[in-house]
Structure 1
């Protein structure tokens, strides 16, 4: 009996698919270890035996071992003889007790409420519902407001994304030409803090009240003078405050469908002086002939699915789509600036 040899290309294709299909196992192991505080423990106290980790996390050693061993195989942890585990460069990035980190981002993306949304994705594709809302009975922002842990993780996850991308942005985009910059939907103020400290301009942080509650303390921790950034709370669909000659929005407008986005942009236009600018900070879904992976490894076209599963009309757009959206709202594209992360800037001026 003879067997037909398997082509190298077929093997490689199967390897790619196995990795994709089993990706949820990897992410769940990361989430579970982050939620249990294992990455914090190993960084703070050094390498630990399986039994020690299990005792300190109130888990069963033989069950926990499978998770820790898998993380070691992924180089997230290091396994030593005697079932001893130690931290690595990857696990240090997932520590959550030293400020906003990739650990917060992982916990937000993979937490049960988000996971439940993926369970109903097929049904939601038929009905047109937002999967997160179908699974949880409310929108993601309301859910985070009603659930303290989820809300805290969400805010820290967004702060991590800001910290991850902002330094690369500051190296290629000059905010010093503006007198006052307003960050719309700016979370705790990570972006506006960096802008005012580096470029010496004044800042305004505009957010919903429950998110802005922690902003004053966060800005103080960042060494921002209390008079440098004004914190204003409100609703982007009602009115955006005047007083800035530049508005920045980082990943914010992608949470809304085109109709809602245009309402927000209309209010931005009303708030800006004639010479004012609006700077969209965003990861752009590539067109067919553009690279599919950003310099930092993010695939915007894949991440866009996560956004769309979580929020109404959400989903990252192509540069062309964003340009058309802003032009319909009374703006004209003046420049595009790319960075060494997934974040790029599109600067728009008001149409005369």
Structure 2
């Protein structure tokens, strides 16, 4: 269909990318990876179980089999593969939940408005839906909210092993996760290091947290759940604040407000531990070993949030310095997540 040079092949892969992600979305949304996890099934059986048309379903499944997501056997029988097993959504948070969150129709609608938003300055998601991203996902669409929560928990679960190999949270008595959603990260920290935990996020973000935390093997009083607005006030009581990806949703001005509230919340020797995927500087590798391309993810953040996007190490350092913090340490975990440790400036 396209030329055969390496350049045209690379472009072809980009052009066909949304075909692939939409086929993945359809199959995962239908629960086909769940169906095939126990045994292979004929396309007829899959169609019956998913209330779909046999022949059109077959075309989609064959394409995914050619991509290695499923395996096609004689007789139009389809079986699970290592790839499809990562898309199972009827157990713990998985890559399947992340896929469904990133590729659901409301996200596609937002990306369609990106070109217009570049000209008008509007947020693409708000232009497409007439409401803010978190209002749409967190308060008005419970299915989307559940996908978002599970997607964020998956990202946390994926990162904690390499994080805990290089960073010791036991140096703190109480760790507060600001912007921690339903509490996956703080649950891991408290379970691993034995400190006390505080989970702080918007009230509608932490609604599901008590039920989630109850499944994590924690003592009843191990994590205090508090709802509030980080732009206005952050509760006291922690000697360390951990922030994972949360600053990415804010403009420079609002990020400084959040960090200023963090500084006000912390004691004199308090620290902020930023956990973030950093956009590489010019000339550095652009893709992490897990396939994350931060500069592309930064566009996704810009599509959904006013002024928010993934930043470089220097940009985060500047944000913290403007908020009364100084950088103490940068630790690379070996995954796409980097630890930047900040302490309150000595003038505080």
Structure 1-normalised TM-score?
A: 0.96
Equivalent of residue 270 in structure 1, options 261, 264, 285: 264
Deviation track 1:270-303 (CA, whole Å, cap 9, x = no partner) reads: 0000100001100000001221111212111111
The corresponding residue for 1:326 is 320
Equivalent of residue 36 in structure 1, options 30, 41, 44: 30
- Root mean square deviation, CA, Å: 1.0
- Deviation of the 1:314 alpha carbon: 1.5
Cα contact 1:182–1:248 (8 A) shared by 2: yes
Deviation track 1:68-122 (CA, whole Å, cap 9, x = no partner) reads: 1111111111111111101111111111110211111001100111000111111
Equivalent of residue 244 in structure 1, options 238, 241, 248: 238
- Deviation of the 1:242 alpha carbon: 0.2
Equivalent of residue 58 in structure 2, options 46, 52, 65: 65
**1:1-352 equivalent positions in 2, closer than 5 A:** 11-43=5-37, 45-144=38-137, 145-352=139-346
Cα contact 1:296–1:340 (8 A) shared by 2: no
List structure 1 runs of 4+ shifted beyond 3 angstroms.
Answer: none
Deviation track 1:224-251 (CA, whole Å, cap 9, x = no partner) reads: 1111111111111111000000000100
Q: Secondary structure at the match of 1:314?
A: coil
Pick which of 192-201 and 210-219 moved more: 210-219
Structure 2 unaligned regions, length at least 5: none
| Inter-partner Cα distance in structure 1 for 2:77 and 2:301 | 38
| Inter-partner Cα distance in structure 1 for 2:255 and 2:232 | 13
- Deviation of the 1:137 alpha carbon: 0.7
